[in-house]
Amino acid sequence: MNAVHRPSEVLETLERIGVTVAVTVPDGWLGEFLVRIERAPWITLVRATHEEEALAISCGARLGGARTALVIQNVGLLSMGAGMVCLAQRYQFPLLILASYRGTPDDPVFYHVPKGRATEPVLRGLGLGYAVADRDRPIGPQVESAATYAEEASCPFVLLLGREDVQW
Amino acid sequence: MVTTREAYFRAMADALPAETLVVTSLGNASYLWAAIRDRPENFYVEDAMGLALPLALGVAVARPDRQVVVVEGDGGLLMHMGGLITVGAAAPSNLTVLLIQNGVHAASGGQALTNAGLDFAALGLAARLKGARNIETADSLRPALAEALEGSGPMLLALATAPDPEVVVPPAGFDPVATKRRFQDAIEAPRYVPILFGGGRLEPRRR
């Protein structure tokens, strides 16, 4: 049993790898996680109104030279398709996307189920690289690997996170 | 006599300091600006309608030491109106929004805008931008732009104009990745330096 507080580990990893801008749209699992980001002196949090807008803000921050993390619920991956292909992929922005994976059997809120069912097929349809966080392995290295993949491949990369990874 | 987009852009070319970063939205916003003042500090957004403003916000957040001007259309802004709200909340003092208000979706052939004729300056103020003004002449754009670039933004200047459905041919075709790299080189954005088997970092450029 891993006793490490996984959301803390995610946050510590973002700091260690030099992420200085986080762009977010709220989700129930992410609430306190986002508050912690907002309080951290080493990172700027931008709260956007919609995930496609958040994606564009991330692209702009990366264009300006900041390493970024887009922190959203997986429903945002369904709603940001146009911006993903027309902006992030077309211009080859390396973006780390951390998405809470709602609608899995672990999610007690069952209206998320359709989103959970659609998420991975949509990611494959968009040609996006992604991974589902492995709860039996430390989360920090998984976040770092996702960020490295994005940079090395010059494209967005999605890490789908479980409740234990982000709910504080 | 309605002021043309070109007249506004020529005033903008006169008034902008060389170091200003400029993000332009799809269609003639990018094509005409490239024809008038192509420079590495321009970032041309092709397609991705409505996302020039949030992209420029990201640039402004990442580079608070540089003034950022974004040229967005009224149709694009309506498509992602939330972006204006986020600009008001994030309140970057170095961001100026030039809104081409022509009442149509010019880039897609001139289809009527949903609810044309909105008071965008009032919307900007409601979104809690530091300043917002409706502009009708190129002569009035120059001092307004100079004021905005003093760093008291975010500021929105809504530029009233007529549709210009004829597509301007830019001096060269846009290569999105080349546009990005040219921009990042111009601002000396930190570069990702890979390390064998992962763990690379963004590092400042060596002069």
DSSP label at A20? E
Question: For A114-128, B120-134, B150-164, which range has the lowest pLDDT when averaged over its residues?
Answer: B150-164
Please report the pLDDT score of residue A165 as a whole number: 96
Q: Which band of pLDDT confidence, cut at 50, 70 and 90, is reported for residue B207? A: low
Nearest residue to B57 via CA among A85, A158, A66, A94: A66
Pick the residue with more confidence: B205 or A88?
A88
Contact A90 B48 (CB under 8 A): yes
Give the pairing of strands A19-24 and A67-73.
Answer: parallel
Q: What is the mean pLDDT of residues B172-192?
A: 96
Most A-contacting residue of B22, B41, B43, B59 (CB-CB within 10 A), to test interface:
B59
**Is the pLDDT score of A2 beyond 60?**
no
| Mean pLDDT of all residues in A68-97 | 98
Neighbours of B150 (CB within 10 A): 10
Mean pLDDT score, B100-105: 91
For the segment B82-92, the average pLDDT, to the nearest whole number, is 98
Statement: residue B176 has pLDDT above 60: yes
- The pTM for the full model equals 0.97
pLDDT tens sequence across A148-162: 999 999 999 999 999
Asked if A152's CB is within 8 angstroms of B183's CB, the reply is no
Collect all residues with Cβ–Cβ distance below 8 Å to A52 and sequence separation of at least 6: A76, A79, A80, A82, A83, A84, B51, B80
Contact criterion met (CB below 8 Å) for B159 and B140: no
A111 pLDDT more than 80: yes
Contact B87, B149 (CB under 8 A): no
CB pairs under 8 A between A and B: 137
CA distance A66 to chain B (A): 6
Residue B191, Cβ neighbours under 10 Å: how many?
15
H or E segment to which residue B121 belongs: helix B120-126
Look up the CATH architecture of domain B5-203. 3-Layer(aba) Sandwich (3.40)
pLDDT for B56-69, tens place per residue?
A: 999 999 999 999 99
